[in-house]
Chains A and B, each alone.
Chain A
Amino acid sequence: MKADFCRGATANAPMAASVAAYGSVLGMLAAQKGLSWLDLLFMNSAVFAGSAQFVMVDMWSQHLPVIEMALAVLVINLRYLLVGASLGPLFRGRSLLCKVLLMHLVADENWAVTMSEQRKGTASVWFLFGGGVMVFLCWCGGTMAGLMGGGLVSRPEYYALDFAFTAIFTALAVGMFQGKKDIPPWLVAGVLALLAHQFLPGKWYIVIGGVGGAITAMLAAPDETPDLKEGARASAT
């Protein structure tokens, strides 16, 4: 339990470094919008979802559009429904209390790291939680540094910091590739995402691409791997 927690935290450290970089950009934007460190820290702890927080800060004004904000957050975070569902096998047999307590600290990063660990058959809820704590601490550290330190990285795109997220998620996606059977779902996901990104506002492309890929996989000929964990063991050998 404790060992798994530490393993999760360590495995997420490279991710967390890029999370801190990304967070510092949010911190700088928040400072421009007049958020106090307490506002931002409260948002970090309560919402804890990077892209949604960027949109919230973007929508920040003298009179907050509370309902529109919640709707925007709902759309951007729809993917967490799928993320949560994909964690079903990991949480199998755990108590409701455990699920209720641990799900809050599930971000894209520690989820992705946990899913690739799951393919090796060595993930656990403590691994997920350790990663969540690591990501949370770096997210808070990064955003606070950005809020306080302002002009240190005034042009993040100069250092290709904006590409850090694309690069890290590319690496994670590759780490999740399960072989030839994934090619059709990924192709469909990529094409749908491009189209949706082009023609639909906001972050719909993530949900549409992901669901399209999953449906493609469902339409393929049935295979013999009954669940994620056993499938992972088979492919690891």
Chain B
Amino acid sequence: MLPRLETQVVLAIALAALVTYSLRLGGLLLSARFPRTGRFRQGMNALPGSLLFALVFPSIVAEGTWGIVAAGLTAAVMLRSRNTLFAMLLGMAVVFAARRLTL
């Protein structure tokens, strides 16, 4: 049996979806107006990496020393092997062990 979707739920989700989709498509459509060379392009090239780094860095630091060790190992494995899954599992294993042993 299908559960009932309340009006306020539909409204809240629809509004959130509209906002999110506008940002996604808006960024892409605006990019056509951006210059393709020079300093602006240099900034755009650096954007994805810095954005991802900004996303993870505070949570690595929040995890403490072992968070930094875990992230360092993840980075090293990634640089050497380019194996995303293995790099991720190794980082998790370090944090798991550190928490279990309350290092």
Which of chain B's residues have a CB closer than 8 A to the CB of A85?
27-28, 30-31, 34, 44, 47
Q: Is the CB of B48 within 8 A of A47?
A: no
Q: Is the CB of B44 within 8 A of A214?
A: yes
How far apart are the CA atoms of A185 and B79 in the complex, in Å? 19
Which of chain A's residues have a CB closer than 8 A to the CB of B20?
47-49, 52, 73, 77, 80
Which of chain A's residues have a CB closer than 8 A to the CB of B88?
14, 18, 164, 167-168, 171
- For A, the interface residue count at a CB cutoff of 8 angstroms equals 100
Residue of A100, A159, A163, A213 with most partner-chain B CB within 10 A: A163
How far apart are the CA atoms of A170 and B37 in the complex, in Å? 29
**In the assembled complex, A29 has its CB within 8 A of some CB on chain B:** no
Contact code string A182-212 (vs B, CB < 8 Å = 1, else 0):
1001101110111001000000011011111
- Would you list which residues of chain B between 59 and 98 have a CB under 8 Å from chain A? 59-61, 63, 67, 70-71, 74-75, 77-79, 82, 84-85, 87-93, 95-96
Which of chain B's residues have a CB closer than 8 A to the CB of A218?
39-40, 42-43
Contact code string B16-60 (vs A, CB < 8 Å = 1, else 0):
110111011111111110101111111111111111111111111
Which of chain A's residues have a CB closer than 8 A to the CB of B63?
163, 166
CB within 8 Å for A170 and B27 given contacts A176-B52, A186-B53: no
Q: Is the CB of B16 within 8 A of A193?
A: no
Q: Is the CB of B25 within 8 A of A210?
A: no
A-B residue pairs in contact (CB < 8 Å), sample of 26: A37-B3, A47-B17, A70-B15, A74-B19, A77-B23, A81-B27, A88-B31, A91-B28, A99-B29, A103-B21, A103-B28, A106-B24, A160-B93, A163-B70, A163-B95, A169-B52, A170-B87, A171-B77, A171-B78, A173-B49, A185-B50, A189-B50, A194-B61, A217-B50, A222-B42, A228-B45
